[in-house]
């Protein structure tokens, strides 16, 4: 995989459906080396720290391979990297090939896969499409959240190399489908494994336990 773009934003207030919303989703590409800290990327601000921040959601990555689908859907010739609120736009990121607990070296830092991303209404704001969050959810191309194992610097063009795997893990796409795809045949099996999967964020382990109790 390859890092195509690093994207950051400052928090801004904007109007959405008659309300003022503070968000950091409007990310723009930046050049040069940036520092990756335990809680976020240098120059990036997260407005909703409950849902889009903290050590288990320090860095969000999304694949450039998903961009053509959205450009066709939205009728736009070229979406700018960062359009989905991602910190890292990555070439070759496939949710079905990325497993919770996988560790990757980018530049001088090491990142570990912690959980999928659940899109919220702010994605609809960013893409100016009220159905965007629902569409992304139904596509199962959700992107990946990372925690930072080793702080360091990254730059556009860096190679992304897997250096470690978690045993008996679950790929991000299957994890996401277990929660959001009613037709997914392995829901119970995935949720049972997820509830005990230590590299998975605590929030998602607890989600798995709650969902299992309702099956």
pLDDT in tens, 65-121: 999 999 999 999 899 999 999 999 999 999 999 999 999 999 999 999 999 999 999
Q: Which helix (H) or strand (E) is 109 found in, with range?
A: strand 109-116
In terms of DSSP H, where are the helices of the chain? 49-52, 67-74, 121-127, 132-139, 172-180, 187-195, 202-212
Catalogue all structural domains in the chain, each as residue range(s) with its CATH number.
2-166 (2.40.33.20)
- Average of per-residue pLDDT across 36-63: 90
| Calculated CA dihedral for residues 79, 82, 88, 90, nearest 10 degrees | -10
Put the strands of the sheet holding 109-116 in their side by side order.
Answer: 28-30, 2-8, 88-91, 59-63, 144-150, 109-116, 103-106, 160-164
Instruction: Locate 76 and state its tokens.
Output: 């736009």
Strands 88-91 and 59-63: parallel
What pTM was estimated for this model as a whole?
0.96
pLDDT for 165: 96
């Amino acid at each position: 995989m390859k890092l195509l773009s690093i994207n950051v934003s400052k928090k801004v207030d904007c109007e959405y459906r008659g309300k003022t919303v503070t968000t950091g989703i409007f990310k723009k590409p930046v050049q040069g080396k940036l520092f990756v800290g335990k809680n976020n990327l240098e120059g990036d601000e997260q407005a909703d720290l409950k849902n889009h921040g903290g050590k288990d959601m320090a860095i969000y990555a999304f694949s450039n391979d998903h961009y053509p689908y959205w450009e066709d859907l939205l009728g736009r010739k070229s979406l700018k990297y960062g359009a989905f609120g991602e910190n890292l736009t990555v070439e070759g990121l496939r949710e079905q090939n990325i497993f919770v607990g996988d560790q990757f070296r980018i530049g001088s830092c090491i990142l570990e896969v912690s959980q999928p991303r659940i899109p919220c209404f702010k994605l609809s704001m960013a893409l100016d499409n009220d159905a965007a969050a629902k569409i992304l959810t139904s596509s199962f191309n959700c992107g990946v959240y990372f925690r930072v194992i080793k702080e360091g610097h990254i730059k556009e063009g860096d190679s992304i190399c897997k250096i470690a795997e978690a045993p008996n893990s679950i790929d991000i796409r299957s994890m996401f489908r277990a929660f959001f795809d009613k037709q997914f045949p392995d829901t119970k099996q995935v949720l049972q494994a997820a509830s005990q999967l230590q590299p998975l964020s605590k929030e998602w382990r607890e989600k798995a336990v709650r969902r299992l109790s309702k099956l």
